[in-house]
Structure 1
Amino acid sequence: MSIQVILALAVFVGAYILIATEKVPRVTVALVGAGLMVIIGATDKKGIFFSQESGIDWNVIFLLLGMMIIVGILQQSGLFEFLAIWAAKRAKGRPFVIMVMLVLITAVLSAFLDNVTTVLLIAPVTLLICDRLNISPIPFLIAEVMSSNIGGAATLIGDPPNIIIASRGGLSFNDFIVNVAPIIVILLVVFIGLCWLMFRKQLSFDPARVTRVMALNEREAIRDVPLLVKSLSVLALVIAGFILHSLVNLEPAIVALLGAGLLVLITRLETRKIFADVEWQTLLFFAGLFIMVGGLVSLGVIEAVGQAAIEAVGTNYLGATAGLLFGSAVFSGIVDNIPYVATLAPLVNDLVQAGGQPAQPLWWALTLGADLGGNATAVGASANVVVLGIAMRNGHPISFWTFTKYGLIVTAVTVTLCLPYLWLRYFA
């Protein structure tokens, strides 16, 4: 092992410890870590800005930016207040019923949008519901982001790693529906039960608050009907673009930016109002994280680990499936699952090509492991980072360990349930 590899690992591990302990703001840690990766020569300007394998994933950055602008403008119409009051009244103010409603809505939307877009839409509604009922939004936000990662695994467009896997493996939208969606439905039912076990003591009930909420008229919350119509029209076009992105040959990030630009053009709002809700710290954190992981990719560290695991299982495809499932869950909890899948997908493709049909379940093991493993820690998936940024900005900070203590439970249960599914479906 070279000195350069040792230094890169030290930078990454040190940064991860600082992020986990929260002694230093995470955006500061990520940017300093990225700078150190450049200084030690683990990456360079070409690797950072232009490499698909080791650089900043601009699709993620610009997808987030575009959707943050759209959601920020939409929020000014009063739609989120309307939805918050409507949902609270339908659930009669019962916190767990509200949580189940939001979890299921989030999971379904995440299957047909990407999970980052979904949490950007759902989080403001959640914050308003909890404010109206005077309860902590933290359990709700954690449950929603986890359900978005679970629901997003069901389809090709639901989670960014799935797009990478589909591209490498030549897999279609229907392939994901047939092979992954059945177990996701089961996992959602199990997850709702886990939510009751994990959060029931935090879901307080204030009858006085509920009475006041039930007396509200949700229609009065809409402040600007023309703005609402314009925003929803553009959002519908953006969603259609996401679903049809392979036909229109536009990446989701481009669709989001075009939608944001169109909405800015037709609403003519002040610049301050347009960019007020953009989570700039979250975008910078992502950039720094991509650069740090990219340094490990450039030095071959992640590829070496993956190759060693593949060689260890040989032609034992059941063992390889189990190893890839749990290994992907572990690594996706440590590094963002997008660069992880981008690194592992070529290796899995080689194994599938060599093994033929018996090796095909490896794709589904990688999909489930990476997507569900993203729930393990606060930095395991893009949606996690986005929700933590929104929570902090609204005065409800969620610490790394608060998220992770729940995430480890959910990941362990959901990933473990995937193994008998894969065995019964493909090997029994």
Structure 2
Amino acid sequence: AMLLALGFSPKSALAFVMATGFVADTTSLPLVISNLVNIVSAGYFRIPFDRYAAVMVPVDLVALATALLVLYAYFRRDIPARYELARVDIPRGAIRDTLVFRWAFPILILLLIAYFVTAAYNVPVSVVTGAAALAMLALAGRWWRRGQGAVIDLRKVLREAPWQIVLFSLGMYLVVYGLRNAGLTTYLAQVLEALGRHGVFASALGTGFISAGLSAVMNNMPTVLVGALGIHQAQGLSASVREAMIYANVIGCDLGPKFTPIGSL
């Protein structure tokens, strides 16, 4: 609707849509909570929130810069030089609940701080996130007033939440463990062992390409778990090679889905 209001041509609209989707995936690397793929891998290998961020924030900056350069080189002729912002509705009009809006950013800042603080105590990110979500629900539902003055219908929000994604993810994990029992992860572990004999660089590059390719053809959610199981089963890997493979698996699963429409949720 916004693109139509601005009068973008079909080519300009395509450039905007492709750039938005591509950057959203390529920049989902820096934090554990940035992507479900990150959560799965960090949880499986017990990577602390701060350690994960220290490794992946620089990688994310490189991914963002590369994505912007490639997108600009490809779509530069389709990017409109000017557009009339007055055609778009005032942003303030989209705010339904001013109380929730005002508290959202302070809560998000506190949430980020809490992730780093609780990492030293091995507190699951789900607990920290759940506490912040509960605070937002309390604000939206005006629980201290027993619901009086509430603007947002919480029942509708909970009812229309995409719960099918949770069921889809659980189903995918069942498929993955079935593939493990069939020996797929054993074959992958053998490939990773062969890569591990060639050093950290070859191991990281090879693991990343394998994860990206598998993500493109069978979705990144099962792929990240397949990769994690393969890395766990691989024998004879040094600590540095294993760590490089773990992060390369995440990077491949975050970037690879852009190759095909079925690569990610």
Give the TM-score of the pair, scaled to structure 1.
Answer: 0.48
Residue 326 of structure 1 and its aligned partner are, at CA, apart by: 0.7
For 1:5, the equivalent position in structure 2 comes to none
Partner of 1:306: 188
The change in CA–CA distance for 1:212 and 1:238 in structure 2 (over 3 A counts) is closer
Corresponding residue of 2:175: 295
- 8 Å CA contact retained: 1:333, 1:375: yes
What are the residue-to-residue correspondences of 1:149-298 with 2, within 5 Å?
149-204=25-80, 210=84, 212-213=86-87, 218=90, 221-223=91-93, 227-234=97-104, 236-237=106-107, 240-241=110-111, 244-245=114-115, 247=118, 249=124, 251=126, 254-255=130-131, 257-259=133-135, 261-266=137-142, 268-269=150-151, 271=153, 274-275=156-157, 278=160, 280=162, 283-284=163-164, 287-288=167-168, 290-292=170-172, 294-298=174-178
Deviation at 1:225, TM superposition (A): 7.0
Give the Cα–Cα distance (whole angstroms) in 2 for the partners of residues 288 and 180 of structure 1: 27
- Give the counterpart letter for 2:212 in structure 1: A
CA distance in 2 between counterparts of 1:353 and 1:167 reads: 23
Relative contact order (C-alpha < 8 Å, sep 6+): which is higher? Answer: 1
* CA RMSD after TM alignment: 3.8
Q: Distance between the aligned counterparts of 2:57 and 2:260, measured in 1?
A: 23
CA deviation vs aligned residue, 1:55-105 (integer Å, no higher than 9, x gap): xxxxxxxxxxxxxxxxxxxxxxxxxxxxxxxxxxxxxxxxxxxxxxxxxxx
Match of 2:199 among 313, 317, 336: 317
What one-letter code is carried by the residue in structure 1 that aligns with 2:17? Answer: L
Whether the aligned pair in 2 keeps the contact of 1:155 and 1:176 (CA below 8 Å) is yes
Residue equivalent to 2:215: 332
Note if contact 2:193-2:236 (Cα within 8 Å) is conserved in structure 1.
Answer: no
Per-residue CA distance 1:91-132 (angstroms, 9 max, x = gap)? xxxxxxxxxxxxxxxxxxxxxxxxxxxxxxxxxxxx53x233
Query: Which consecutive unaligned segments of at least 5 residues does structure 2 have?
Result: 143-148
In structure 1, what is the Cα distance between the partners aligned to 2:43 and 2:260? 27
Q: How far has the Cα of 1:328 moved from its partner?
A: 0.7
Residue identity matched to 1:131: L
The equivalences for 1:17-36 within 5 A come to none
Structure 1 pair 273–296 and aligned structure 2 pair: CA distance change class (3 A): closer
Shift of 1:146: 1.8
Q: Which amino acid aligns with 1:298?
A: G
Partner SS state of residue 360, structure 1: helix
Shift of 1:154: 2.4
CA distance in 1, matches of 2:239, 2:133: 40
CA distance 1:189–1:250, shift in 2 (3 Å): closer
1:193: how far off?
1.9
Cα distance, 1:204 vs structure 2 = 4.3
Judge conservation of contact 2:29–2:59 (CA < 8 Å) in 1.
no
Question: Is this contact kept in 2: 1:332–1:374, CA < 8 A?
Answer: yes
Query: What is the aligned length?
Result: 247
Contact 2:15 2:78 in 1 (8 A): yes
Residue 246 of structure 2 is aligned to residue 366 of structure 1: no
Work out whether residues 328 and 373 of structure 1, in 8 Å CA contact, stay in contact via their aligned partners in 2.
Answer: yes
Q: Encode CA deviations 1:25-49: one digit per residue, 9 max, x unaligned.
A: xxxxxxxxxxxxxxxxxxxxxxxxx
Give TM-score, length-normalised by structure 2: 0.71
Q: Which string of whole-angstrom CA distances, capped at 9 and with x for unpartnered residues, describes residues 128-167 of structure 1?
A: 3x23312254432331222122222123332222233333
The change in CA–CA distance for 1:373 and 1:256 in structure 2 (over 3 A counts) is farther
Aligned counterparts of 1:276 and 1:134: Cα–Cα separation in 2: 35
The 1:198–1:273 alpha-carbon spacing in structure 2 relative to 1, beyond 3 Å, is farther
Alignment of 1:49-60 (within 5 A): none
**Partner Cα separation in structure 2 for residue 225 and residue 178 of structure 1:** 35
Q: Aligned partners of 1:250, 1:183: CA distance in 2, in Å?
A: 21
Q: 1:258 to 1:144 in 2, by over 3 A?
A: same
Structure 1 residues 254 and 173: CA distance shift in structure 2, 3 A: closer
Deviation at 1:233, TM superposition (A): 1.0
Confirm or deny: 8 A CA contact 1:327 1:369 kept in the other structure. Answer: yes
Change (3 A) 1:297 1:305: farther
Q: Deviations over 1:180-227 (max 9, x none)?
A: 33333233222112212333344346x6x62744xx894xx5248782
Equivalence for 2:6: 133
1:153·1:162 contact (CA, 8 Å) conserved in 2? yes
Decide whether aligned partners of structure 1 residues 260 and 306 sit closer, same or farther in structure 2, where only a CA change above 3 A counts. farther
**What is the CA-CA distance between 1:327 and the residue it aligns to?**
0.2
Distance across 2 between alignment mates of 1:353 and 1:173: 27
Can you list the C-alpha shifts for 1:318-377, whole angstroms capped at 9, x where unaligned? 443332111011112223323322232243245488523354322222222222213222
Secondary structure, in 3 states, of the residue corresponding to 2:98? helix
